[in-house]
Structure 1
Amino acid sequence: MAKEPATAPELRKAAEVSDQEIDATVHAVPADLASESYPLAKGWTLNLVVTLRANTRAAEALTTDKPVWKRHMVRTAILLAHSVTR
């Protein structure tokens, strides 16, 4: 089991989060920015406020009309975030 706080890659390595769950989060986050947190998987929650505050490029990308760049920046922010908690 991954220690807290854990990143998405650490949770993936510990087999607590699947690639499909990370992909689903990447696609769902831009559509659900009103929420402060997003359920990643199996009780793990991603703090969106902290995640986007820590990655200004992702926050900037969310304001554009470039869906591919937006998706890549959100994925990067999610993978780098240390705000995943149980």
Structure 2
Amino acid sequence: MAINPTVSDLRKAAEISDDEINPAVDAVLAHVATEGYPLAKGWVLDLVETIRTNAAAAEALTTDKVAWKRNMVRTALLLVHPVKG
């Protein structure tokens, strides 16, 4: 696995599962603004920074298209590099 893995890398390596990613997506959609969202096995996501730095996800959150929002937020979370907390 990569030295600085993305959430997607961790998912591929079975470090985390979709069942652990989906609540993070739900948290973003519920407007939970946290810089330390516990993902799994000590991995932590900065939800605020993730959305701030992903223009497509930030733009999707301004629409009323529920499926589009979910897909763009999930994609943003899969691309982010969590930290080991």
The answer to whether 1:85 aligns with 2:66 is no
Say whether the 8 Å CA contact 1:35–1:48 is kept in structure 2.
yes
The two structures have a TM-score, normalised by structure 1, of 0.80
Secondary structure at the counterpart of residue 30 of structure 2? helix
Q: Map of 1:1-40 to 2, 5 A cutoff?
A: 2=1, 5-40=4-39
Contact 1:61 / 1:70 at 8 angstroms: preserved in 2?
yes
Asked if 1:63 corresponds to 2:53, the answer is no
Give unmatched runs, 5+ long, in structure 2. Answer: none
* Number of residue-to-residue matches in the alignment: 84
Q: Within 2, Cα distance between the matches of 1:40 and 1:8?
A: 9
**Structure 1 residue 24, shift from structure 2 partner:** 2.2
**What TM-score results when the alignment is normalised by the length of structure 2?**
0.81
The gaps in structure 1 that reach 5 residues or longer are none
- Is the Cα contact below 8 Å between 2:34 and 2:46 reproduced in 1? no
CA RMSD, 1 decimal: 1.8
